[in-house]
Structure 1
Amino acid sequence: MNSPEWQKIEVLADRKYPVYLGTSLEELGAYLPALPEKVEHILIISHQKVLDLYGGRLMKGLGDYRVNLLVVPAGEAEKSLERLSQLTTAALGYGADRKTLVIALGGGVIGDLAGFFASVFMRGVRLIQVPTTLLAQVDSSIGGKVAVNHPAGKNILGAFHPPQAVWTDFTTLESLPWLEVENGLAESIKHALIADPGLFNFFETQVDSIKQRDPLIWRTMVTRSSSVKVKIVSQDEREQGIRGLLNLGHSFGHALETEMNYRGVTHGQGVSIGIVAAAHLAGAKGFISLAEVERIKQLLRNYGLPIAIPGQNPQALLQRMQADKKNQGGRKILILPQGIGNAVISQDCTDNEILAAWQQVISG
């Protein structure tokens, strides 16, 4: 790799894999011969807009391979079994087989959908994640969790399918709309809140630089945030313990996204509101001070992230939380902040406590 500033962090899972930071899209093809098995056929799964922006650059390095493009519409609703079936039909039409390599080029939706497709197509084919959004670079491309949605809830149908590598080109963030930036900021702030108080302080002191997209500051932000994810996944790849902390804000956020049918609220907005709801619940249980709750809310406000969602039905949202994958034996398992930079897995939250937290974010 020619870039003098690229870094490599290794995920120490059952099968180790590298997360490359600061590499270029054009250089991925030169990396492929380093994979354990020879690559001949590649399926790139992406959105048309992403391909228009970055497909040409990625293809520059793939001239030695047989490459086919599978284009899917944008939107969380595309993470469905119907779309999975259509991808399968198209892949078979291109002669894909068990040696095919899938490249997920895009954000979190593409990473989830392409990753789940790779996990089930012919009982599993190789995958490389090429994240092009902030959310995907700091969070969803790392860790091997892939999924599609079900009417009962988000990511109900999923698998653990670690990639061969994560290939991160920071320049793809330059054209990212601010709404997409917010998605990644919500996840990055979550990482700081659960495991890195210094990163939380970084977000508090670098608001202007981050909003102005200072390249050096963004590089630091992505590197530090993704490092939190890598460290936690390396300790608990299959989410049997500490990895559950990464779900802070997600039980609330996923319920909200599902209730709103993935319209009118982005994933990052859902996570932001979910973090606030979890903070209020943590405050009620004595895990966090009122001043710390306000500090969390102020940081989210500073980046334009929502901290309230008026007009929702708390009982309906509570019902949506029944389908959360983390629940056990009928008990709702929630991640709650414990101060700034630490979090706990709580198994004893009552429905009344959860409803009270929902009321806090519904009333604003």
Structure 2
Amino acid sequence: MNLEELHKIEVIADKPYPVFLGVPIEDLGEYLHAQLKDVEHILIITHQVVAELYAERLKKGLLDYRVNLLTVPAGESEKSLERLSQLTTAALRCGADRKTLVIALGGGVIGDLAGFFASVFMRGLRFIQVPTTLLAQVDSSIGGKVAVNHPAGKNILGAFHPPLAVWTDFKTLESLPWAEVENGLAESIKHAMSANPDLFEFFEKQEQSIKQRDPLIWSEMVTRSSSVKIGIVSEDEREQGIRALLNLGHSFGHALETEMNYRGVTHGQGVSIGLVAASYLAKIKGLMTSEEVSRVEQLLTNFGLPTKIARKGLDPKILLQHMQTDKKNQGGRKILILPKGIGQAVISKECTDPEILNAWEQVI
């Protein structure tokens, strides 16, 4: 393997790191040998199902290291302090020390949990993201944000802890159930809505090819979508400005996930409904036309993503309360990201509670 010939995009940050695209998972070991001379012990953190699919392939390149595999149950609810404590106990039993390298093998939940573990264990370990889902490849593995949840809200406890590298093997997407694909599509469409109108048109034109899992179209989709995230993170690593635009749909989506205790709605479904709610709110604020809102709803519907949540007893006022804990808020004011047409987003500090409630009522 010639490291120089690998397709990669550099994230410009305090500590720059590469995002490798379309690389075999077996070749990660060769990269580690070339880049890190002081690593002897590796902790792979993953889910059991992912381990059965990819752990042996990953380990093929790690034969010269002492490797321990730690598995956690699947589900957003596993991003908890209780699970973090259990991982810490397991890591100590494996003899982990400050030179241990953590590899996050899996989707967004694993990336967040393993990354946050790496950020706090013995005051910080180095780690590598090996994203195996579409959501993780286009979004959550890039940018260095790691976190666990709290009963008060999603990702309340977190850190900026960038990986040494993101190692993306497109072949891991072949085993994804369509429900997992939808999670990634929601984030990719969010990227298009917030920063790239051409990408939005790509999704409209390539709907059938994407549904048929055309390998060339999928590699283009991942590359173009992740490039949006990389570009914005490189401009604003610590989310002091434009990076907040990538939270489009998330204030609504996270509130929904929190209220439903991360059951009955996936992250992608929450984001999808959030994108529609944010679009209705943008229409109220004069930022979008009815035709543009319909275009957003149609694209999400075409990919099987929900534009409404059908659940008895779901109270918009309770959802509004959950939005009080959003990390973007300042001085008691709700700060929301709203689309401005298709392909641009803005930070809004002027949304009133009645306007937000109206947007919730459009999607419940």
Which category describes the TM-score, using the shorter chain as reference length? over 0.9
Aligned to 2:144: 144
Count residues in correspondence: 362
Deviation, 1:39, is: 1.3
Deviation, 1:38, is: 2.0
Aligned to 2:341: 339
- Summarize the alignment of residues 147-162 of structure 1 with structure 2, pairs less than 5 Å apart: 147-162=147-162
Aligned to 1:192: 192
In the alignment, residue 360 of structure 1 is paired with which amino acid?
Q
- Supply the distance in 1 between the matched residues of 2:291 and 2:279 (Cα, whole angstroms): 11
- Summarize the alignment of residues 1-364 of structure 1 with structure 2, pairs less than 5 Å apart: 1=1, 6-311=6-311, 312-362=314-364
Deviation, 1:2, is: 6.0
Deviation, 1:142, is: 0.2
- Supply the distance in 2 between the matched residues of 1:5 and 1:307 (Cα, whole angstroms): 42
CA contact (8 A) 1:3 1:24 kept: no
CA RMSD in angstroms, aligned pairs only? 1.2
In the alignment, residue 105 of structure 1 is paired with which amino acid?
L
In the alignment, residue 360 of structure 2 is paired with which amino acid?
W
In the alignment, residue 118 of structure 1 is paired with which amino acid?
A
Deviation, 1:7, is: 1.1
* SS of residue matched to 1:315: helix
* SS of residue matched to 1:70: strand
* SS of residue matched to 1:60: helix
CA contact (8 A) 2:3 2:31 kept: no
- Supply the distance in 1 between the matched residues of 2:50 and 2:252 (Cα, whole angstroms): 30
Deviation, 1:25, is: 0.6
CA contact (8 A) 1:210 1:218 kept: yes
Distance 1:110 1:216, change over 3 A: same
Q: In terms of mean alpha carbon deviation, does 167-176 or 303-312 score higher?
A: 303-312
CA contact (8 A) 1:112 1:147 kept: yes
- Supply the distance in 2 between the matched residues of 1:309 and 1:20 (Cα, whole angstroms): 36
Deviation, 1:37, is: 4.8
Deviation, 1:314, is: 0.4
- Supply the distance in 1 between the matched residues of 2:237 and 2:252 (Cα, whole angstroms): 23
- Supply the distance in 1 between the matched residues of 2:273 and 2:47 (Cα, whole angstroms): 27
* SS of residue matched to 1:61: helix
Distance 1:98 1:62, change over 3 A: same
In the alignment, residue 325 of structure 2 is paired with which amino acid?
A
In the alignment, residue 271 of structure 1 is paired with which amino acid?
V
Which digits, 9 at most, give the CA deviation of each residue in 1:146-173, with x for residues without a partner?
0000000000000000000000000000
* SS of residue matched to 1:113: helix
CA contact (8 A) 2:255 2:322 kept: yes
In the alignment, residue 319 of structure 1 is paired with which amino acid?
Q
* SS of residue matched to 2:62: coil
Distance 1:203 1:6, change over 3 A: farther
CA contact (8 A) 1:35 1:164 kept: no
- Supply the distance in 2 between the matched residues of 1:252 and 1:214 (Cα, whole angstroms): 32
The alignment's TM-score, normalised by the length of structure 2, stands at 0.98
* SS of residue matched to 1:319: helix
CA contact (8 A) 1:232 1:243 kept: yes
Distance 1:92 1:316, change over 3 A: same
- Supply the distance in 2 between the matched residues of 1:239 and 1:353 (Cα, whole angstroms): 26
* SS of residue matched to 2:185: helix
- Supply the distance in 1 between the matched residues of 2:210 and 2:6 (Cα, whole angstroms): 20
Which digits, 9 at most, give the CA deviation of each residue in 1:105-145, with x for residues without a partner?
00000000000000000000001000000000000000000
Deviation, 1:3, is: 9.8
CA contact (8 A) 1:5 1:22 kept: no
Which digits, 9 at most, give the CA deviation of each residue in 1:253-310, with x for residues without a partner?
0000000000000000000000000000000000111100000000000000000013
* SS of residue matched to 2:23: coil
CA contact (8 A) 1:6 1:23 kept: yes
- Supply the distance in 1 between the matched residues of 2:338 and 2:252 (Cα, whole angstroms): 11
- Supply the distance in 2 between the matched residues of 1:209 and 1:3 (Cα, whole angstroms): 31
The answer for unaligned runs of 5 or more in structure 2 is: none
Distance 1:62 1:164, change over 3 A: same
The answer for unaligned runs of 5 or more in structure 1 is: none
CA contact (8 A) 2:134 2:173 kept: yes
Deviation, 1:33, is: 2.1
CA contact (8 A) 1:153 1:323 kept: yes
The alignment's TM-score, normalised by the length of structure 1, stands at 0.98
* SS of residue matched to 1:174: helix
- Supply the distance in 2 between the matched residues of 1:325 and 1:34 (Cα, whole angstroms): 39
In the alignment, residue 306 of structure 1 is paired with which amino acid?
P
- Supply the distance in 1 between the matched residues of 2:4 and 2:284 (Cα, whole angstroms): 49
Which digits, 9 at most, give the CA deviation of each residue in 1:16-45, with x for residues without a partner?
000000001100000002335521100000
* SS of residue matched to 2:51: helix
Deviation, 1:5, is: 8.4
Same amino acid, percent of matched pairs: 78
